[in-house]
Chains A and B, each alone.
Chain A
């Protein structure tokens, strides 16, 4: 609308006598990503030992504590419970700690500050998710060690499946958590995430078999990410007893893409 036919776009074409100020060249994507990662890690790094300590406590709480609920727990149930614990931990980090961090960043102005940086904004999310992945993944090892100490059973790893399921679960939880925190106001974010923890721990067939739930609730869980994530991870941990289903993978992927899409939109959009 405001284009004058003689003066071109961003490229200095016409302005003959007036020295045109040049647009600085784009910084390489990799350099930008690596630098943002350094920034995010610098901020989250000091928190890392605490997060891992919390993960260990939670793992102990689930594996040992839930064990008390079942008197004389049989090895099969113990295995089921223990192999569900990593999923709970990944979900807690992604759905509680991530939104807490994002809500805080929004309240303190950090979120806006970063959005004003000369970087493609989706990279901000990518750097954040990378850091959260690094924070969340040790929880799997922590849960496995606790389970092994408590029940002393062996794992039968399907490594490629385990790595893929762990990464996807953690990414999904973190991106959905991020999306919650950018869509809802901070106080509502806090309440929602607290409710989600209870839902994951007590009302999701993660640490107990889905068959114990009413049928309609099983159907609900066919569409939520929790049971699919738990089943995928379990198939990676004790691959002799459980197998992964393609449908679970698809459900998890859909949630992941949805979380990322909402988060990116919030980062990119100008209100």
Chain B
């Protein structure tokens, strides 16, 4: 019944008093891009480190391409290409050499490695720096190109599971799009991709499935549209509060609010589309009375859901 390239079940890991992973269960199937979302310290990197054989779990199981990754981490590592959150060691190397090395370590022949390295560099539009040496003082190539090179090192050879930990950090907007395209291609070619990020907006565009971690626990999982809510007709009314003003949405809202989330000076209310008119009228009145600074009405996004499930100063109302 093992059909995922990554099967994590009831994974637990503590650091002293802190529970970094608390009975985490998730699955990545071949061809699927799964986003692992969570705030800083939610336990994402701890999870990845256990899959890659850097940390030993306190409990639970990890299977990578059918292999028990806890008992046989060496074999599991052959099945995983990891782009870690830390920069890859590129000093003294050119992107070409680094990507070729990654391909060679995965058993590609010299010629194949060279061709594959060039192809992925072209795909990411980093050919301009392909033969430029990265200097130990940070010179030679920029942080963004280093990040893309590290991504290319993880993407150059076919592997069952690709794990990307914040791959788009420092990368410019144009190349981010190329990067996400490549991530999608890896999935389409049959690899399972686990994409670790706290960037909800970007993740939404590439992932098939999402798993949200909060304080070490899985607090939500499913497809982006599934998580957004059963009806895609929900709208989000965003109120911008005045610096010292009270939140006017606490009570006496003249329509039904499915969910209410407070994020700093913003209050996000999920309302049904047929209440749009009432919502706008209500918010306009609030603004006219200078009880809020402004408002916006838009379709519900994944970010709303994410903020709702990860708590913080959020709180749910409704029903």
Contacts from A to B (Cβ < 8 Å): 2, 4, 7, 9-10, 12, 15, 18-28, 31-32, 35-36, 38-39, 42-46, 105, 108-110, 112-120, 270-271
Q: With A10-B75, A12-B66, A270-B54 in contact, do A113 and B97 touch (Cβ < 8 Å)?
A: no
From B81-89, B243-251, B296-304, the one touching the partner chain is B81-89
- A157 CB to nearest chain B CB (Å): 35
Partner of A44, one of B66, B73, B78, B92: B92
Chain A residue at smallest Cβ distance from B57: A270
- B78 CB to nearest chain A CB (Å): 4
Q: What are 26 A-B contacts with C-beta separation under 8 Å?
A: A2-B9, A2-B68, A9-B68, A19-B30, A21-B66, A21-B79, A21-B190, A23-B67, A23-B79, A24-B78, A26-B78, A35-B104, A38-B97, A43-B91, A46-B92, A109-B86, A112-B84, A113-B86, A116-B52, A116-B54, A116-B82, A117-B77, A118-B77, A118-B106, A119-B77, A271-B56
- A264 CB to nearest chain B CB (Å): 14
Note all chain B residues with C-beta closer than 8 A to A15: 1-3
* B160 CB within 8 Å of chain A: yes
Measured in the bound complex, the distance between the Cα atoms of B80 and A209 in whole Å is: 55
Contact A42 B97 (CB under 8 A): yes
Q: Secondary structure of the A side of the interface?
A: loop
- A269 CB to nearest chain B CB (Å): 9
Q: With A108-B86, A113-B88, A116-B54 in contact, do A24 and B160 touch (Cβ < 8 Å)?
A: yes
Chain B residue at smallest Cβ distance from A34: B104
* B53 CB within 8 Å of chain A: yes
Measured in the bound complex, the distance between the Cα atoms of B98 and A117 in whole Å is: 13
Q: With A39-B93, A44-B92, A116-B54 in contact, do A23 and B105 touch (Cβ < 8 Å)?
A: no
Measured in the bound complex, the distance between the Cα atoms of B53 and A5 in whole Å is: 26
Count the A-B residue pairs with Cβ separation under 8 angstroms: how many?
Answer: 122
Contacts from B to A (Cβ < 8 Å): 1-3, 5, 9, 30, 52-56, 61, 65-68, 72-75, 77-82, 84, 86-89, 91-93, 97, 101, 104-107, 136, 158-160, 190, 192
Measured in the bound complex, the distance between the Cα atoms of B74 and A119 in whole Å is: 8
Chain A residue at smallest Cβ distance from B30: A21
Note all chain A residues with C-beta closer than 8 A to B136: 46
Contact A23 B89 (CB under 8 A): no
- B221 CB to nearest chain A CB (Å): 21
Contact A105 B89 (CB under 8 A): yes
Q: With A38-B97, A118-B77 in contact, do A27 and B107 touch (Cβ < 8 Å)?
A: yes
Contact B84 A10 (CB under 8 A): no
- A179 CB to nearest chain B CB (Å): 20
Note all chain B residues with C-beta closer than 8 A to A120: 74
Partner of B61, one of A2, A28, A108: A2
- B188 CB to nearest chain A CB (Å): 15
Measured in the bound complex, the distance between the Cα atoms of B88 and A115 in whole Å is: 12
Instruction: Given A10-B67, A27-B105, output 11 extra A-B contacts at Cβ < 8 Å.
Output: A12-B66, A18-B3, A26-B78, A26-B107, A42-B97, A109-B84, A110-B86, A113-B84, A116-B77, A116-B84, A270-B53
Contact A23 B65 (CB under 8 A): yes
Note all chain A residues with C-beta closer than 8 A to B84: 109, 112-113, 116
What 8 A-B pairs come out closest when comparing CB atoms?
A109-B86, A27-B107, A270-B56, A110-B89, A43-B92, A35-B104, A21-B160, A116-B52
Most buried by A among B5, B72, B80, B91: B91
Note all chain A residues with C-beta closer than 8 A to B106: 24, 27, 118
Partner of A118, one of B3, B66, B105: B105
Contact B89 A270 (CB under 8 A): no
